[in-house]
Every structure is written in structure tokens, then in C-alpha cells.
Amino acid sequence: MNISQLPKEARTARPAAHPPAPSGKVGVLLVNLGTPEGTDYWSIRRYLHEFLSDRRVIETPRALWAPILQAILLRRPHAKGRDYEAIWNKELNEGPLKTITRSQSEKLGLKLRDLDRDVIVDWAMRYGAPP
């Protein structure tokens, strides 16, 4: 899609009180769920804790959910680490979701740049801390 073909309102829509801002570039951000930093116990535990503590993910009342999380789920990082190790991208030392998301971002970026030079594509993950 060529951004310049969009109606002016679609290219410049902002609140009336918003200060003028230069435009011209479009950003596309691919956001994925996330992945642990590694397959070791602490990487898996940190990831599970962050992900499963988010109230937007688990809507069960905190008083009921916290004991389940602490007593059962966060005692499983060794088992989950083995599961991740079976699918881990050893060449790049990263989870497959990170590999796939980065690849999608790079390929989409190339395609969109062929259509319009002013498009920037990047990626991010909500949980975990993948670089």
C-alpha cells in the first residue's frame, strides 16, 4: 500500500490540541507473546512468573491464583526447560518464537520497503527479555 494514496485525514489524524509533528514515515510493530531467555531453570521461572502473573492473561482472583502459581506452576521450570530445549534454536541460542518473529519482521520489512521507502518494520515481545 502506498501511504500517499490514503485520504489526508488517515495520514494526519491527531487530537486537535496535539502540537504539529513532522510526518512521512510509517512504523509497523509486530508484537508477539514472548519467550524465555534460555532453557535454564531461572530463565524459565522468570518467564513463567511474568507471564502467569499478568492479570490480563489469568483473570482468576489473585487470592485463588497466587497459591496455584507459587505452589504448582513455578515448581516446574526443569520440566518446561526440557520442553523448550527440544525446540530451542541452538544455532542462534533463542526460542523458536523469537526466530520466527524476527524472520517475519525482516521479510515484511523488505516487502513493504519495495512498495514504500518510508516504512519501518520492527518487532517486540510482551513477556520475557529477548534481546
Q: Is residue 104 part of a domain?
A: yes
Q: What is the mean pLDDT of residues 95-108?
A: 95
Residue 104: what pLDDT? 97
Q: Is residue 18 part of a domain?
A: no
Q: Is residue 118 part of a domain?
A: yes
CA angle, residues 128, 51, 130, in degrees to nearest 5: 10
Q: Is residue 14 part of a domain?
A: no
7 vs 58: which has the higher pLDDT: 58
Domain region containing 55: 26-127
Q: Which amino acid is at 100?
A: I
Taking residue 64's Cβ as centre, other Cβ atoms within 10 Å add up to 9
Q: What is the pLDDT of residues 4-53, one digit of tens each?
A: 676 666 666 677 777 877 777 788 999 999 999 999 999 999 999 999 99
Question: CA nearest 126: which of 56, 38, 23?
Answer: 56
**What is the pTM assigned to this prediction?**
0.72
Q: Is residue 73 part of a domain?
A: yes
Q: Is residue 38 part of a domain?
A: yes
Number of domains composing the chain:
1
Q: Is residue 13 part of a domain?
A: no
Q: Is residue 20 part of a domain?
A: no
